[in-house]
Amino acid sequence: MGFQILNSIRKHMITFALTVICFVAIGFGLNTVMSPQYEAKATLVANFAPTDSNSDNKYNEILANQMLTKSYEEMIQSLYIAQIVKTDLSSSLSVTELLSKIQVKTDPGALLLSIYVRDGTPKGAVDIANAFAQSFADHAATIMNNANVTILDLASYENSLDPVSPQKTFNLAICLFIGMFAGSSFSLLLDKRKAVRTKKAAAYVLNS
């Protein structure tokens, strides 16, 4: 089968090459049209303030804190926090649009919450990530009693300068692969059509 494909490509090299070039051109076009997206990350350490500094029941406190990281995750992505962020940034974006830009990931074992933000500019991503981190740190205790949240790392502009999408090399590689597959398929199809026509012509000559 492999030899047949290579033989078909050799016979229809122009068709194969044009197909590959077309798909690679599509890849270049997609990379040009797609707006770059930049990502920023801010990290929080979140737990409950101990109710009794002399308590020996620290293990249960740790377990409770780990279970609450999911609640913190939902709180960060709440309309309440998003509205505060919108006000602090004087953003023209709606609350829903701001929330669509963020993703919160938790590490219950380490009591860490990472806020990821994607935006069309590095500054926009950094500003939004830091605003969500700061707003939650400032208002967590208002939402939940005894909540204690501190900012571990703010998002930095320097770490957000490289776009995370589009992945240009990956897009081109995919388009190249699809182009080669399509080119091979077209070459095989043309080869089979030519073989059928040849058989029909031979049969016609023999029957004449």
- Domain ranges within the chain, ordered by starting residue: 2-34+168-207, 38-160
Mean pLDDT to the nearest integer, 154-170: 89
Confidence of residue 144 (pLDDT cuts 50, 70, 90): confident
pLDDT, tens digit, 9 for 90 and up, residues 169-205: 888 999 999 999 998 888 888 878 776 666 665 665 5
Please tell me whether residue 76 adopts helix, strand or coil conformation: helix
Given this model, what pLDDT does residue 69 score? 80
Higher pLDDT, 57 or 156: 156
Residue 55 has pLDDT above 60, yes or no: no
Given this model, what pLDDT does residue 77 score? 94
Residue 95 has pLDDT above 90, yes or no: yes
Mean pLDDT to the nearest integer, 140-165: 88
Residues 54, 60, 64, 67: is their CA dihedral positive or negative? positive
CA–CA separation, 27 vs 45, rounded Å? 42
Residue 46 has pLDDT above 80, yes or no: no
Given this model, what pLDDT does residue 169 score? 86
Given this model, what pLDDT does residue 2 score? 63
CATH architecture, range 38-160: 2-Layer Sandwich (3.30)
pLDDT, tens digit, 9 for 90 and up, residues 121-139: 999 999 999 999 999 999 9
CA–CA separation, 154 vs 136, rounded Å? 13
Helices marked H in the chain — which ranges?
2-11, 13-33, 58-76, 79-89, 95-100, 122-143, 168-207
Higher pLDDT, 86 or 147: 86
Which residue bears the tokens 């919160």? 104
Per mean pLDDT, which of 1-10, 65-74, 77-86, 181-190 is the most reliable?
Answer: 77-86
* Helices 2-11 and 13-33, axial angle in degrees (round to 10): 90
